[in-house]
Amino acid sequence: MSKRDYYEVLGVSRGATGEEIKKAYRKAALQFHPDRNPDNPESEEKFKEATEAYSVLSDADNRRKYDQFGHAAFSGGGAAGFGDFSGFEDIFGDIFGAFFGTGGGQRARTGRDLRYNLEITLEEAASGIEKTIVFSRATPCETCGGNGAAKGTSPETCKQCNGAGQVRMQQGFFAVSRPCPVCAGRGQVVVKPCGTCGGNGRVNKEAELSVKIPAGIDEGQRLKLRGEGEAAPGGGLPGDLYIVISIEPHKIFVRQDSEIICEVPITYSQAVLGGETMVPTLDGEINMKIPPGTPTGKTFRLKGKGIIDMHSGRRGDQHVRTYIHVPTSLSERQRELLEELSSIEGKPTANESRTFFDRVKDLFD
C-alpha cells in the first residue's frame, strides 16, 4: 500500500510553519497513542504514521528533500533518522507527561493539594467576612532542612539514574523517560535518614490561616490559596489549599443565586384593609406596605435587598411572599368581633360565588 502524503497525515498545508507542524503532531500523538487506545491496531498504525511524518517534516533538510522528491527521497530505508528520537525530547516530554505524569527530563516535584470545608452563615456569605482556619499539613522538617538526611550527612546521588531522576524505558517501539524507581524522581537517595522525619523530609504540623471570604460567594464555590498546601517531598513547590464553601440553612431566607425569598404572615384585617407589616432583610427590619385586598400567596419585590452577584457586582432582589395568619386561640373580645363580622359578612356575592363554583364544576366535568 502506498504511503500517504506526510502533510496530509498531519493535516497541515505545505507552507505550514515548524510550530504548526509540531502542534499538529502533538495533537495526533495524543489522539492515537497506543496507551490511550489499547488493543487497537488501527490507532497504533496512525500513531506510527504521524510519528514518521513528523520525523521528516520537523527536520529542515529532510523536509526540503521530501518536498523535492517525495517518499522516494527515503526509499533506501524509510524516513531518514526514523528510529532515532533524540530530537523529539521536547515534544515527547509534553506528550508523555499527559500519560505518565512526567516529562522527558527531571521536573520539580509539587506538594499535594489540600481541601478545607468551611461552613458560613447566609449573612456572612452576603456581606463577606474574614475567617481564621486551623488545619494540619506536611511542612519541611526543621531538623534536616527538608532533605531527609540525618544531621551531619547529606543525600547521595542516586546510582540508578546518576542523579537525573529519570530512567529510559522501552515503550512500544521507542524509548521514553520515566521517574527513577529507586529515588522516585528526586535524583538523590537518603542513606542515613533523619530521626525526626524518618527520611521523608516532612512532618505534619498545625497551620493557622486567615481567609477572606468575598461577598456574594455561594454554596460549593472554592477559594484557591496558592502554595498553602503540603510541602513537596525532597523540596520543590508546595501544593495549593482549596477552601470549599458550604452555607448553613437559614431559618427565614431561601437563596436562589443572588435572589432572596422569604414568607411573611399578615392578619386578615391587614389583607382586607391594607396596612404595614415588618419584613426582615439581610440589612435589618423594614416596614412594607400591604395594599387592601392582598390575597394569600401575593409576592412583593424589594429591589436591591438580595445578595451581590460576584460576576456582575449587581445586587439581587428580595421576594416577600405573604400569607394570612389564622390564629389558633382567640381572646373573648376577638371571638365576639369575629362572630359579629361573620353575621354581617353573609355569603360571597353572586359573581364571586358563580366564578368559584364554575371552576369547581369545570374541574370535575
Q: What is the pLDDT averaged over residues 244-263?
A: 92
Same domain, 210 and 127: yes
Same domain, 195 and 304: no
Same domain, 69 and 13: yes
Of the residues 247, 269, 292, which one is the last residue of a structural domain? 247
The answer to whether residue 348 is domain-embedded is: yes
Does residue 281 contact residue 320 with C-beta atoms inside 8 Å? no
Does residue 81 contact residue 62 with C-beta atoms inside 8 Å? yes
Looking at the 3D structure of the chain, how many domains does it have? Answer: 3
Same domain, 314 and 359: yes
Beta-ladder partners of 149 = 193
E strand intervals along 78-232: 114-120, 129-140, 156-157, 166-171, 174-179, 188-189, 202-213, 222-225
Same domain, 310 and 204: no
Same domain, 216 and 139: yes
The answer to whether residue 292 is domain-embedded is: yes
Q: Which of 76, 43, 213 is nearest to 131 (CA)?
A: 213
- Angle, CA 104 vertex, CA 101 and CA 107 arms, to 5°: 65
The answer to whether residue 103 is domain-embedded is: no
The answer to whether residue 343 is domain-embedded is: yes
Cell numbers describing residue 269: 384585617
Cβ partners under 8 Å of residue 343, min gap 6: none
Cell numbers describing residue 192: 542515613
* Residue 188: per-residue pLDDT: 82
Q: What is the pLDDT averaged over residues 274-299?
A: 90
How does the average pLDDT of the chain come out, rounded? Answer: 81
Q: Is a pLDDT exceeding 50 seen at residue 340? A: yes
Q: Is a pLDDT exceeding 80 seen at residue 287? A: yes
- The pLDDT tens digits of the residues spanning 201-230 come to 889 999 999 999 999 999 999 999 999 999
Q: Which of 239, 133, 153, 251 is nearest to 195 (CA)?
A: 153
CA distance linking residue 137 with residue 166, whole number of Å:
28
Same domain, 142 and 182: yes
Same domain, 151 and 229: yes
Same domain, 215 and 272: no
Structural domain boundaries enclosing 128: 114-247
78: left (phi over 0), alpha (psi -120 to 50) or beta: left
> What pTM does this model have?
0.59
CATH number at residue 269: 2.60.260.20
H or E segment and range at residue 350 = helix 350-364
The CA–CA distances, whole Å, from 37 to 11, 54, 87 equal 21, 20, 25
Confidence of residue 3 (pLDDT cuts 50, 70, 90): confident
The answer to whether residue 105 is domain-embedded is: no
CATH number at residue 71: 1.10.287.110
- The pLDDT tens digits of the residues spanning 11-41 come to 999 999 988 998 898 888 888 877 677 778 8
- The pLDDT tens digits of the residues spanning 75-124 come to 654 444 444 444 454 455 555 444 444 444 444 568 899 999 999 999 99
CATH number at residue 167: 2.10.230.10
The answer to whether residue 252 is domain-embedded is: no
* Residue 224: per-residue pLDDT: 92
* Residue 104: per-residue pLDDT: 42
The answer to whether residue 50 is domain-embedded is: yes
Same domain, 338 and 274: yes
* Residue 85: per-residue pLDDT: 44
Of the residues 69, 84, 99, which one is the last residue of a structural domain? 84
The answer to whether residue 74 is domain-embedded is: yes
Quickly count helices (H) and strands (E) in the chain. Answer: 9, 15
